[in-house]
Structures are given as structure tokens and as C-alpha cells.
Structure 1
């Protein structure tokens, strides 16, 4: 966990006095189920031990002051000026949460302002959902400070609403749900249509398996056109097929679907449909055989994202191939694609071999040196204790 003492000192230096508390929101890794969430589909993410941490103190007026230790300066506004338009930069994430809380029942006309300072060790643009980590930390902080009484599922919808409308990224609800609903050594099996969520034990420690993340350092942004164009293709496919969402198409339907769609749209649809089935198969195998049995499903997911959804990159493909060749059980791109990270399930005794192999392969290919680290599934967002 991020030490809170430096953040407290940062807060005091800017705003005077101590914050009233600290709230942490974890990033997430999606084990499987990519680009299914905004199609009302199935996902299986887990919260990771990388966090955004918010220090907050309510004020006696309507002023909002925001600061972060990775951008100079203080952003100042008031609750009376909060709206979905005109917000940009890093402050759009916390201010978007404020606006979205108003959309979900908070009466912003009768609430005090606040001072808030943020820090984070979730890599930005790596596909580990640094944005949802911020939204979850801020949402939990304001929910408690303002005594709103909202449950975690509602706060996930708040974070998604902020991301979609204020930030302008057409993401689904997976990231915020993982950040808020996570549990130690477990994944969150989420139905993005009903929002029913079930905690599924991963059993990584018992199986002697680590989750290794390879950050290719090829940055991506969900607000960019590639992500939006994939979503548009999915919506077009559903419209042509006469179904509400691609969730309503099954693997058995694909032969018929192929005759109704152009090649590109069909391949986008096929990825979503087969990925939903892979999520179901992964959950079944985890329950009955454990994490050692799911490698082929991770590999198939990557192939589908590479060939059908076309969101991989040479760096992502190299990382997955080399990780498998050096002992990984399975590997795939995680997150929105077009850069970011690969996750690999690796037996503990093969971690060093996989790490060295990927670094050497990147150097030989002339790619930027990747960041490689392991992550653990952890509990979801909440208040944290003061730590040195």
C-alpha cells in the first residue's frame, strides 16, 4: 500500500492542516473478458496491489480545491460550477465523480466543498485502469464524508458515468466494479447486463502461480479513436442482427451471423461472442481444476484480440509469445489494447526465466525496455489507515 505520510505532508503544505482521512482505490487486471463489458457481456477482473490514494477534508464553504503530486498546481472550482462540460486534464476524473454523484441522488446544492490531494502508483496508460482507481478512491471518500450511503455497485456506476460523460471515454462498467468489489486472491465474475457480481476464488497462492504484468510502455488512452471505433462496430453488428446487444448472440449463432455481416464487423462480433464463452469456461475451470487449467483460454483470448478485434501491437504479441515460450501457463493482452500490458500466469519457479526472456526479446527487437512486475489480487476500495 502507498504510504500516506508523504501524501499527508503534501496535503498540509498546500491546504494547511491535516486531511480527515485517506481512501484507496486499486487498479485492476482483467483476467479474461475483454471488450465484452460495453456489450452487456461477462468479465472476470480482479483488483491489484497498485492504488490511487485520496486525502480529503471537508470545507465550511462551497469551494473545491484539488491537487496531485504528479501535476503542479492546484485546481480550484466550486460545487455551483460543477457540470459535465468544460472539465479536462487529470481533474476531470475527481470532478467527474462529483458531478456523477449528483446524477445518482446526491443533492449538490446542500453539500460542503472539500480539499483533496491525490497520489497513485497505478501506471497511467498501461491498461491497469488508473482512471477507475482514482474514481473509486474519490467516490468512496465523498460517499463517507458526505454521508451519502451509496453502495459499491452504485459507486461503480458513478465512476463509469464520470468516465463516459465527463472524460469522454466510452468504457463499460468493468473497471470500476473490479476496483470496488475486489477481494484477496479472488476475481470478480461480473455480468455487465444485470450487474450481478460473484467473487470467484483464484487459488493462485495454493497453486504456486504468480500473475506477471509486462508493461510494454506503449501508452494508450480510452478516449482515443481506436477504442471508440471498436465499440461502434459492435453496436452496428448488434443493430444489423436485430439484437439489443452482442450479449444476445451465442457461439452457435456465428455461422448464420457470418452471412449477414461484412468481414470486419463479423470478426469484431466473433471476438465478443467467443470471449463471453471463454469467461464462462474460465470460471468453470477455476472452480473445478484451479488456475493451472486456464492457460489455453488466455492464449485463445489473445489470439482473438490480435486477429478478430485487432487491438494488439507487435510489443504485446512479442511479450505473450516469449512469456509462453519461457514457461508461462498462458498470456494475453489485458485492458483496452493498442498498447498497455500483457498478463501472464507463471509458476513461481519460472518467474525469473520469463522476466529475463521478455527483457532480452524486447532489447533484440529494439523496443523500449518493458516494466515487469507481479501483482496480487486484493480487496476493493475503502478507507485506509495512516502509514509511514
Structure 2
């Protein structure tokens, strides 16, 4: 066995396509420069030891005790990956170090699980493909940690490509890189972390998911992705006892899927600036129909648009997190200042701002062989 194996996996920003993933729909994420590095090495017989540069105390778990619910806190994520690999494990030590901002909706958890999965796959010589690692890391979050992720984050972290966004069909899990050439167009993607506390995110996420499933069931469809005539579908949903909510949730999903495919068509045609209105329309839909934004992110979107953004929207699951804006490169500094000033004027936390562009997906960053 090797002495160790190390992998780096990125966080992600979702350019457009929010809450469409668990509706068998379309998403358009990009891997970002922030990531997690995981090093997996042999450890004491029968023991799993997890350490993090961001956490004060290591976590140790006997291999024999590895099961959902057995590992507390952050270590449940790397432990869940080892469990999801479905193989007899030797003693292992897993060391991680991440610079993905926590709580910002940039999928620090996918960066963590994908880096651990890649490194463990190498060390144990399992021969799993990137697709199989996506399945294992999603299983870790869904079934071990109990986080109801739809799979987009793991696809973006594992399969992302520098210079491209990743067009993902979440029913088939087919993916296609779509060129997103910001520099060549003199453009930048500004990310503004609202630093708003995530309020009721888990319960509200589950409620949105239930509403979407109820709407699809009422319409006799496998998923809202399958709606063909939106007006007809909304009229049928409106007749239900909780029709107003079902109409709003379904309208967001169906129109958001259309916005994703519209953005892909524009990017394929090299019309990067022209995606701006779709980004802004996506935010309005999340705010008004899916009701997942908070005042902090709404204020930031308005400030960025006023500062000259071609489009701006909240990115991520909602109830806090980050806003993204498509801007000319020479407008970035003024827009960032405008965002901070708007947040300050409303008494909100001071946002953190940075630009990003599509980075490479998860990859090996070295292995050491015994002897």
C-alpha cells in the first residue's frame, strides 16, 4: 500500500438552476478556486482517525463501529465517504485542510467528501471512476450524514473543468462542459458572501422539496421537470387545498429549468453578457415564488444591479449565503464597494467579496509510495 494519497477538490458556485436538481431538472454549476485537500494514509489497526486544520480536536472511530449516526460533527462527512465505499477498511488516518468559506453556500461539504473519496480510492487502489466517486460521496451525505443534497454539488466538485460551467441533467446525470470565457470577454463573476446566518434552512429545504413532490404527484408526473404546458399545470394546482403554494413552487422550478437551458444556448453562442437578465429573473423567482431569499441577499442583488451588473442572483440553497453578479472587469471594485455599503446601510453583516472563474474538478495532488 502507498504511504499516503492526497486529493484536492473544489467548492462550487451555481451559475443558475436552483432547487431544480431534486426535481430531475437542469443545473449549471462551476467549480471554484477554493477547495479542500485530503490526505489519506494507513493508520492504527482497526481505527479511523480524522483531523482537520480547521478543527481543534481529532475524531477517532473504530472501523467496526462505522455506521450512520456513529460519528459526530464535521467528521461524519469523511467517515461517511469511507463507509459509502462499501469495502473492508484497514486502519486509516484522514487529514483535511479546506479554504472553502463555511456557511456561504459554496459547498464546502462536497469539497470535503470528494477530496476524501479521491484520496481513499487511490490509497486503497479501488479503481473507482469519477462517476462512481460522485455516487459514493452523494451516498455519504444523503445516507450517512443525513443531508438531503440533490447531487449537483458532488458532480460539480468531481467533474468540473477549468474555463467551463457544467451543464448537468439531474435525471440522467449526463454532464457537458459549456465554455464560460470570462477573461476573453473582459468580464468577471463577483461573489458576495452575505454572511447572513442560515435561518431555518434545513426545515425549509425539506418543505420546498415536499411541495415539489406534491405538485408533481397532483399533476400525475414523475417530477416537475416533465411539465409541458405550464399554464395548464398551474391551473390544475391552483384548485388544490394548498394551491397557492403549489403554484408558486412549481412555477419556479419549471421557469428555472427553462432559464438554465436558455443560458446554455447563449453561452454556446458566445453571448456571455446576454445571460444577465436570466440571472436576475432567477433571483426574482427564488424571492417571490420559491421564497428562499432573505433581506440581506435581496439588498445585495439590488445594489449590484444598480452598480452596473449585467445580472445578479443568490446562489445556493437559500436562506443566507452568497450572491453572484456578472460584471465588466473594470466595474468589479465599484460594485463590491456598493454591495458592502448597501449591507452596512441596512445594519447587516459586512459582506466578503471575491471574484471567481471556473476551476478544475477534483484531482490527485500527490501520492507517496512505501519503500
TM-score using structure 2 length = 0.94
Q: Deviations over 1:200-232 (max 9, x none)?
A: 111111111111111000133897211111111
SS in 1 for 2:58: strand
Q: Deviations over 1:163-212 (max 9, x none)?
A: 11222221101000000011111011011110111111111111111111
CA distance in structure 2 between the partners assigned to 1:60 and 1:87 by the alignment: 18
Between 296-305 and 247-256, the greater mean CA deviation after superposition: 247-256
Which residue among 145, 170, 187 is the counterpart of 1:167? 145
Is the counterpart of residue 265 in structure 1 residue 246 in structure 2?
yes
Aligned residue for 2:190? 212
Aligned residue for 1:45? 29
Whether contact under 8 Å (1:215, 1:340) holds in the other structure is yes
Aligned residue for 2:94? 116
Aligned residue for 1:31? 15
The CA RMSD over aligned residues, in Å, is 1.7
Whether contact under 8 Å (1:127, 1:220) holds in the other structure is no
CA distance in structure 1 between the partners assigned to 2:153 and 2:338 by the alignment: 30
Whether contact under 8 Å (1:167, 1:223) holds in the other structure is no
Residues 152/325 of structure 1: CA separation in 2 closer, same or farther (3 Å cut)? same
The count of residues paired between Structure 1 and Structure 2 equals 363
Aligned residue for 1:190? 168
Residues 383/235 of structure 1: CA separation in 2 closer, same or farther (3 Å cut)? same
Whether contact under 8 Å (1:88, 1:167) holds in the other structure is no
Whether contact under 8 Å (2:199, 2:320) holds in the other structure is no
Aligned residue for 2:297? 316
Whether contact under 8 Å (2:237, 2:246) holds in the other structure is no
Give how far 1:60 is off.
6.2
Aligned residue for 2:225? 247
Q: After superposition, where does 1:92-171 map in structure 2 within 5 Å?
A: 92-102=76-86, 107-108=87-88, 111-171=89-149
CA distance in structure 2 between the partners assigned to 1:83 and 1:51 by the alignment: 27
Give how far 1:19 is off.
6.5
Which residue among 352, 361, 365 is the counterpart of 2:342? 361
TM-score using structure 1 length = 0.90
Give how far 1:62 is off.
2.5
CA distance in structure 1 between the partners assigned to 2:229 and 2:354 by the alignment: 35
Residues 24/369 of structure 1: CA separation in 2 closer, same or farther (3 Å cut)? same
Is the counterpart of residue 75 in structure 1 residue 53 in structure 2?
no
Whether contact under 8 Å (1:52, 1:120) holds in the other structure is yes
Give how far 1:302 is off.
0.3
Which 4+ residue blocks in structure 1 deviate beyond 4 angstroms? none
Q: Which residues of structure 2 form unaligned runs of 5+? A: none
Give how far 1:149 is off.
1.3
Q: After superposition, where does 1:13-24 map in structure 2 within 5 Å?
A: 20-24=4-8
SS in 2 for 1:342: strand
Aligned residue for 1:88? 72
Which residue among 271, 276, 287 is the counterpart of 2:257? 276
Which residue among 269, 276, 290 is the counterpart of 1:295? 276
Whether contact under 8 Å (2:35, 2:111) holds in the other structure is yes
Q: Deviations over 1:125-162 (max 9, x none)?
A: 11100000001100101111111111112211211111
Whether contact under 8 Å (2:234, 2:251) holds in the other structure is no
Q: Deviations over 1:335-379 (max 9, x none)?
A: 000000001111101001101111111111111100011112111
SS in 1 for 2:144: helix
Residues 178/115 of structure 1: CA separation in 2 closer, same or farther (3 Å cut)? same
CA distance in structure 1 between the partners assigned to 2:229 and 2:312 by the alignment: 23
SS in 2 for 1:338: coil
Whether contact under 8 Å (2:43, 2:49) holds in the other structure is no
Give how far 1:250 is off.
3.2
Between 269-278 and 247-256, the greater mean CA deviation after superposition: 247-256
SS in 1 for 2:336: helix
Whether contact under 8 Å (2:47, 2:63) holds in the other structure is yes
SS in 1 for 2:353: strand
Whether contact under 8 Å (1:125, 1:221) holds in the other structure is no
Aligned residue for 2:364? 383
Give how far 1:254 is off.
3.8
